[in-house]
């Protein structure tokens, strides 16, 4: 008995049929790889500017107003239409005001969440910049140390040559 969705089961059945026909073993990829290959969002690169813009837009529009300005597009009867719309809105308010209030709470929570994520992204960027500066400083120090090592190695070779010359009885200079 199979517990897969019809599409997955069809795919697996076709793969088994193909394996039987080819008379050789067919290597089936794991379903997670198949899913990642087919529906993955890994190809979307993170854009800090776009992210910060989206967070700013979300923060600006985190509240939904229930009471919008009522208008009528019928010039001749607008004096009659607008009061009827107001009465209908007041009669229906008990249905929509709790929903709007709940949606506003959700929007505010999401807005706060993304504000925190923005703070994390900014702090991570600052830490990354700080690490980059420290890394450059350490690379400079390593280059300086390598230069000093090379100078000392040259000096040691020179002194070793002089010592060898002295030991052989030759002139040190």
Residue with tokens 């009061």: 83
When computed from its CA atoms, the radius of gyration of the chain, rounded to whole angstroms, is 37
pLDDT at 35 over 80: no
CA-to-CA dists, residue 104 to 58, 131, 135, 145, angstroms = 12, 40, 46, 61
- pLDDT averaged over every residue in the chain: 80
Give the pLDDT of residue 93: 84
Residue 172 belongs to a domain = no
Residue 83 belongs to a domain = yes
Q: Measuring CA to CA, which residue among 132, 134, 113 is closest to residue 124?
A: 132
Give the pLDDT of residue 114: 86
Q: What dihedral do alpha carbons 167, 169, 172, 173 form, nearest 10°? A: -160
- Spatial neighbors of 86 by CB under 8 A, at least 6 apart, are 70
Q: Please count the structural domains in the chain.
A: 2
Distance from the first to the final alpha carbon of the chain: 94
Residues 33, 51: one domain? no
Residues 110, 33: one domain? no
Residue 173 belongs to a domain = no
Residues across the chain: 173
Residue 60 belongs to a domain = yes
- How do residues 56-108 score in pLDDT, each as one tens digit? 888 888 887 877 777 777 777 888 888 888 888 888 888 888 888 888 888 88
pLDDT at 159 over 90: yes
Structure tokens at 86: 């107001």
**Contact predicate 56/63, CB 8 Å:** no
Residues 32, 58: one domain? no
**Contact predicate 2/9, CB 8 Å:** yes
Return left, alpha or beta for 32; rule: phi > 0 is left, psi -120 to 50 is alpha, else beta: alpha
CA-to-CA dists, residue 77 to 65, 73, 74, 90, 168, angstroms = 26, 9, 6, 20, 121
Residues 30, 72: one domain? no
Residue 100 belongs to a domain = yes
Range of the domain at 145: 47-167
Give the pLDDT of residue 15: 79
Residue 72 belongs to a domain = yes
Q: What dihedral do alpha carbons 73, 76, 79, 85 form, nearest 10°? A: -40
Residue 84 belongs to a domain = yes
């Amino acid at each position: 008995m199979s517990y897969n969705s019809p599409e997955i089961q069809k795919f697996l059945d076709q793969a088994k049929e193909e394996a039987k026909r080819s008379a050789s073993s067919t290597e089936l990829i794991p379903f997670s790889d198949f899913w990642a290959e087919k529906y993955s969002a890994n190809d979307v690169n993170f854009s800090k500017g776009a992210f910060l813009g989206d967070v700013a837009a979300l923060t600006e529009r985190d509240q939904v107003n229930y009471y919008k300005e009522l208008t009528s597009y019928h010039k001749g009867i607008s004096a009659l239409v607008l009061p009827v719309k107001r009465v209908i809105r007041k009669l229906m308010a008990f249905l929509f005001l709790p929903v709007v209030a709940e949606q506003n709470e959700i929007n505010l929570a999401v807005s706060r969440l993304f504000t925190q994520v923005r703070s994390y992204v900014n702090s991570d960027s600052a830490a990354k910049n700080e690490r980059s500066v420290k890394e450059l400083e350490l690379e400079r120090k390593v280059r300086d140390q390598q230069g000093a090592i090379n100078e000392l190695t040259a000096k040691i070779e020179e002194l070793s040559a002089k010592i060898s010359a002295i030991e052989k009885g030759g002139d040190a200079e």
